A and B are shown apart, each in its own frame.
Chain A
Amino acid sequence: MRKYLVLASIVLGVSALAYATTYLGALGPIGSDTRQLAKLFLMHTYNPEFPELTAMSPEAVTSIVWDFRGVDTLYETVVFYMAIVAALAIYRGVGYSAIRGAGLSVIVRVVTRILIPMNIAIAVSIAAHGYLAPGGGFQAGAALAVISVLLAVVFSASSFGKLGISLARAVILWTAGLLAIAAVVFAPVAFSAVTGVRAFLMQNYVKLDSPFAFAIHIYGQQVSGTPTWFNLAEFLAVSFGFFVIFMLLSLREDVVREQLGESRGH
């Protein structure tokens, strides 16, 4: 009975959505032309002719995420930060060094050893070219975080300690990423305080009433102001935030209960 109910709800849901989007035009014209909103963003993403309006980053999504609606992304990062703080609070008092484990077979371990450097290279490139091509800090962080899962599953939770990745170090790197984001956010205000030139929080490029701008070129290389630095900082914060989460999740339940029972006197 349950299977038929699920099947019927899927068929009904898909049919209703398909009807609404095709015959009723619920999503507006699809595929016929670029929408006005998209044209607006594409025109201002990288356009030196309108310096007060542009983000000076050739990648439209990164421009939107870290400039046009940058505060939104900043608070999303704060939400992620708070979630990890909650996880750390729940697992407080659990020692990571006592974990032992064998991991999977030698074939899987060898293949994973080959894959991990490739994963790191791809993650770093996604973060570094995020201002220029599809990618960015969160994408790169999520890609690198897969390594924490591979380490925990393939080499066992004990592998973190063997590689010198302690929970404290992961927390330090994660916090360093967040501090780097804060530094980029407050840099224009600090500049303003020192020089007296008007500048705003999270300001990337010049505004109508502010000449402040992050460097768009460094030694002739396009870097696109704040989006580049936000991407790199977010990469650090997200990847090691996930590392913290998966290091905690990979702990065996009986070990956690035993250690929490001892440390909290239950």
Chain B
Amino acid sequence: MDPTLVPLAFFSVAGLVFAYLAVVEKDLVKAVIFSAIQSSTYTAVLYLLRAPDTVLVYLPVAVGLYPAALLFLIGKTERGDGE
């Protein structure tokens, strides 16, 4: 068995868990943080899948710029997710 499959499975499952937490979380700031953690795990997945070009663009966009844009927007609206 390819030894990279073990960390690949770990980061994939961790990404799923944080994706779930991001969806169900009512506090939008926490949801963005969960989403950023999920993106970090996917960065590791992409690296293990030998896609370094994608890693270099995914890391700043999905972990830095995208959560930042969302946090700025949340700052202009409301922090809670209304039903």
A40 to chain B minimum Cβ distance, whole angstroms, is 18
Which residues from chain B contact A201 at a C-beta distance below 8 Å?
Answer: none
Q: How many A-B residue pairs have CB under 8 A?
A: 58
Most chain A C-beta atoms within 10 Å of own C-beta, residue among B60, B61, B68, B69 = B60
| Size bracket of the B interface | 20 to 34
Which residues from chain A contact B19 at a C-beta distance below 8 Å?
Answer: 10
Cβ B16 vs Cβ A249 within 8 A: no
Cβ A253 vs Cβ B76 within 8 A: yes
Closest to B83 in A: A2
Cβ B20 vs Cβ A6 within 8 A: yes
Specify the main secondary structure of chain B where it touches its partner.
helix
Q: Which residues of B62-83 are within 8 A (CB) of A?
A: 64-65, 68-69, 72-73, 75-76
- Check if A61 is an interface residue, CB within 8 A of chain B: yes
Cross-interface CB contact of B73 among A143, A152, A249, cutoff 8 Å = A249
Q: Which residues of A124-167 are within 8 A (CB) of B?
A: 126, 134-136, 138-139, 142-143, 145-146, 149, 152-153
- Check if A3 is an interface residue, CB within 8 A of chain B: yes
Cross-interface CB contact of A10 among B16, B61, B76, cutoff 8 Å = B16
Q: Which residues of B1-38 are within 8 A (CB) of A?
A: 2, 16, 19-20, 23-24
CA gap between A201 and B61 in the complex, in Å: 31
